[in-house]
A and B are shown apart, each in its own frame.
Chain A
């Protein structure tokens, strides 16, 4: 079959993007359970997130092995693998969120719980947008403008998360909780924001690849 290795790489990247999306969905559910005080359910979902992230890692390794055994030309290889690495960083950031919240269990004040839940939901929703953009590009079903529009959409979600982060940070530091808790909450908030930041990095890399490969 013509381009067997190349087509396999595409299939694996699609599978990887799906695993990343699953990771973010599971993290979102785990955090919802955490804020609802359902620790048992949250821990189960966090474990599933870890497992899914490991599966994504395995797919990434497989992509790397096939790429460096001769799939695609060296000029394209590096860009493709960088894109997969950037995607993987999103899953890692989601896993880290679960780890921080379920290991450190920050005592989020009731006045801020809703804000934390909202930012977690928006930040994790980026997974679906990322998968859409990736599939649109990889399957070649969208015009180049559509691929780039979807990549920009990810940037819009990230901007929304940044805005929420600003508001919550302000709320944390203007509240009367003790300073160590303020710093702890800021640290947890930063972990949530990291997911959308990493997703934006992946979208930027994808856009760069589209500029190179879609004339």
Chain B
């Protein structure tokens, strides 16, 4: 192989890995706050400790179960292998909109941004798009928060009923719930790793240049880095912005979101941690009545959910078409 070709290939691999790492960093920055926002928000655990838990468990989730979503992202939506330039455009466009939202403390979904970006590229390439798969994913974006909300509402009501019926010392109950809430952070972080790491490196895995496990490791490491360096911004919005949470509310929200996310992850459907946790937090808040929910925050989040995939799709479409025109 000629030296020039080798250098070009190395540059492409570095660019790919760099953009994948950027998306993974965004996942950490945006979605990690969703795992810990509730527990940090109710004062149960310090942000520093929570971030360490997330770093460890999301890496474990990435390595052990991240490959399911990675397969879907790589091949499920567009019926052909994307070329290097297309992948770069998808990752950078998706990552940019998530970074922008994180900067403004709006919890948006990296999954939605990626899927939007892929759709934009698919349209730009005139490739065959699996609309049935796309509809399934879009349905999951609706079902997952609703499921998490219903689950959180039901579980919280059940917990209240149990606490009233059982003659147990309330301090001991709260202490136990607190410990379980910390365990639930581990579970959510694990599910987040399993569910989202594939978003960052799914396309690169498709090129068969780098071993998928190594890609997942890189993705997991950058998710942790994103959490540590930029995860605090969205934490407040999720933990306090929607509704004030107490210990039991934080625990129920975490568990309901984790269950919803894990279910979809096992089915290979990329869902957003944001939509799951926001749905669950709303469900907990609804137990106290609709007045306990800050509707303005919910409105901003919903707009973010609509605009993120739309902007990622539009931008990816136009940038790819533009670059192709310049380079051809």
- For the complex formed, measure the closest distance between the CB of B283 and the CB atoms of chain A, giving whole angstroms: 14
Are A72 and B160 in contact, with the CB atoms below 8 A?
A: no
Residues of B within 8 A of A213 (CB): 170-171, 173-174, 247
- Given A6-B172, A140-B170: A76 and B164 within 8 A (CB)? no
A3, A73, A143, A214: most-surrounded residue (chain B CB, <10 A): A73
Are A214 and B175 in contact, with the CB atoms below 8 A?
A: no
CA separation between A73 and B175, bound complex, in Å?
A: 6
Number of interface residues of A (CB under 8 A): 22
Are B175 and A10 in contact, with the CB atoms below 8 A?
A: no
Residues of A within 8 A of B248 (CB): 215
Interface of chain B residues 25 through 76 with chain A (CB within 8 A): 42-44
Interface of chain A residues 197 through 215 with chain B (CB within 8 A): 209-210, 212-215
Task: Indicate whether A139 reaches chain B with its CB closer than 8 angstroms.
Answer: yes
Residues of A within 8 A of B163 (CB): 214-215
Task: Indicate whether A80 reaches chain B with its CB closer than 8 angstroms.
Answer: yes
A176-215 toward B: CB 8 Å interface, digit per residue (1/0)?
A: 0000000000000000000000000000000001101111
- For the complex formed, measure the closest distance between the CB of A32 and the CB atoms of chain B, giving whole angstroms: 37
Give the residue of A73, A144, A212 whose beta carbon is less than 8 angstroms from that of B179.
A73
Number of interface residues of B (CB under 8 A): 24
Are A215 and B246 in contact, with the CB atoms below 8 A?
A: yes
Residues of B within 8 A of A143 (CB): 164
Give the residue of A6, A141, A144 whose beta carbon is less than 8 angstroms from that of B171.
A6
CA separation between A166 and B174, bound complex, in Å?
A: 42
Task: Indicate whether B142 reaches chain A with its CB closer than 8 angstroms.
Answer: no
CA separation between A189 and B141, bound complex, in Å?
A: 68
Residues of B within 8 A of A144 (CB): 164
Residues of A within 8 A of B44 (CB): 73, 75
Residues of B within 8 A of A72 (CB): 171, 175
Are A3 and B172 in contact, with the CB atoms below 8 A?
A: yes
- For the complex formed, measure the closest distance between the CB of A75 and the CB atoms of chain B, giving whole angstroms: 5
Give the residue of A140, A209, A212, A215 whose beta carbon is less than 8 angstroms from that of B168.
A140
Are A138 and B164 in contact, with the CB atoms below 8 A?
A: no
Task: Indicate whether A7 reaches chain B with its CB closer than 8 angstroms.
Answer: yes
Are A76 and B169 in contact, with the CB atoms below 8 A?
A: no
Residues of A within 8 A of B246 (CB): 212, 215
Are A10 and B43 in contact, with the CB atoms below 8 A?
A: no
Interface of chain B residues 154 through 195 with chain A (CB within 8 A): 156, 159-160, 163-164, 166-176, 178-179
Residues of B within 8 A of A209 (CB): 171
B44, B156, B170, B178: most-surrounded residue (chain A CB, <10 A): B170
Are A3 and B164 in contact, with the CB atoms below 8 A?
A: no
Q: Show 12 A/B contacts (Cβ-Cβ < 8 Å), sorted by A.
A: A3-B172, A6-B175, A10-B169, A10-B172, A72-B171, A73-B175, A73-B178, A75-B42, A141-B167, A212-B174, A213-B247, A215-B163
What are the 6 tightest A-B residue pairs by CB atom distance, in nearest-first order?
A: A73-B178, A213-B170, A213-B174, A140-B169, A140-B168, A214-B170
Q: Apart from A75-B43, A139-B167, A140-B169, what 8 extra A-B contacts exist at CB < 8 Å?
A: A10-B172, A73-B175, A73-B178, A75-B44, A140-B168, A209-B171, A213-B173, A214-B163
- Please give the residue numbers on chain A whose beta carbons come within 8 Å of chain B beta carbons, in ascending order: 3, 6-7, 10, 72-73, 75-76, 80, 137-141, 143-144, 209-210, 212-215
